[in-house]
Amino acid sequence: MTIPQACYIGWDVGAWNCEKNANSRDALVVLNPQGELVGKPWRGNLRDTIAAAVSYADWLLTVAKLCQFDDATKGAFTKQNVVMAIDTPLGFSKGLLQLLQGEAVTTPFTASCDNPYLYRYTERELFAHGFSPLSAVKDMIGSQATKGLHLLRKFGFTPSSSGVWLLHLNNCQHHALESYPTVLKTYALVTQYIEQLRSQTRFNTWHQDIQDAAYCAIAALLYQQQPNTIATPTKDVTTEGWIYVPKECLTGIRKR
């Protein structure tokens, strides 16, 4: 296998104790710059690997082992640019944080999708374009959200105003961002990469968690290689984060 100059990780996040849930667990898929699978997909619970790793480089080596990289690729993994796209909320709404600090919001709301305690700005934007993102507060994915955030904070990633988390390691810059497979599945370019995976792997037999991780890995690839195709926030989202999806998916008529 040729050692890639960059790798793209897709992580579909399971709950903290997801080994008890046969239907939903952590899943990892790693792609090279051509969108080809590196090693093999993996599914299980990453909780103990995150706890055991002393650094992000250490955890990446664990990912390489779990995904069965060959020795050459495994050795290079921590010495190259890595972009990781994560399918879980990587922040909580300003409205909720404000409420926890003792202050109620002043903006009136009626519809659930407009509730600033339940949904972040980025989620409300998706609702406006016809999608129905989950809420870390309302939809019982708070476990997954804290798990994703825990990894980023433990290993020293720093959130930016664009909602991307950054870490410098071994003279490389590592990026972590949030994405959303449901939206990615509606974009033709993403579908092309999926068809490529179908032709090279047994994609159709993969568990849904692994397929979602593959969509996230493609989002990571597009974020670095074709950033002009990706929608970015129009305001500072350091606190709440941002769901990175293609611009084309957000060009339809807004629902409100």
As a whole number of angstroms, the distance between CA 34 and CA 63 comes to 20
Mean local confidence (pLDDT), 6-32 = 96
The CA distances from residue 71 to 49, 67, 233, in Å, are 20, 12, 39
As a whole number of angstroms, the distance between CA 45 and CA 24 comes to 10
Q: What is the pLDDT of residues 94-134, one digit of tens each?
A: 999 999 999 998 887 889 999 999 999 999 999 999 999 99
Location of structure tokens 């898929």: 29
How many residues does the structure list for the chain?
256
Closest of 112, 88, 253, 114 to residue 181, by C-alpha: 88
Mean local confidence (pLDDT), 7-23 = 96
Q: What is the pLDDT of residues 142-199, one digit of tens each?
A: 999 999 999 999 999 999 999 999 999 888 889 999 999 999 999 999 999 999 999 9
- Per-residue pLDDT band for 136 (boundaries 50, 70, 90) equals very high
Q: What local confidence, expressed as pLDDT, does residue 107 receive?
A: 80
Q: Which two tokens stand for residue 11?
A: 């992580």
The CA distances from residue 202 to 40, 179, 195, in Å, are 11, 23, 11
Say if pTM beats, i.e. exceeds, 0.85.
Answer: yes
Q: What local confidence, expressed as pLDDT, does residue 1 receive?
A: 43
Mean local confidence (pLDDT), 223-245 = 97
As a whole number of angstroms, the distance between CA 164 and CA 143 comes to 21
For residue 94, is it left (φ>0), alpha (ψ between -120 and 50) or beta? alpha
As a whole number of angstroms, the distance between CA 161 and CA 165 comes to 9
Contact 117, 209 (CB under 8 A): no
Mean local confidence (pLDDT), 236-254 = 89
Residue 253 pLDDT > 60, yes or no? no
Q: What local confidence, expressed as pLDDT, does residue 254 receive?
A: 53
- Per-residue pLDDT band for 40 (boundaries 50, 70, 90) equals very high
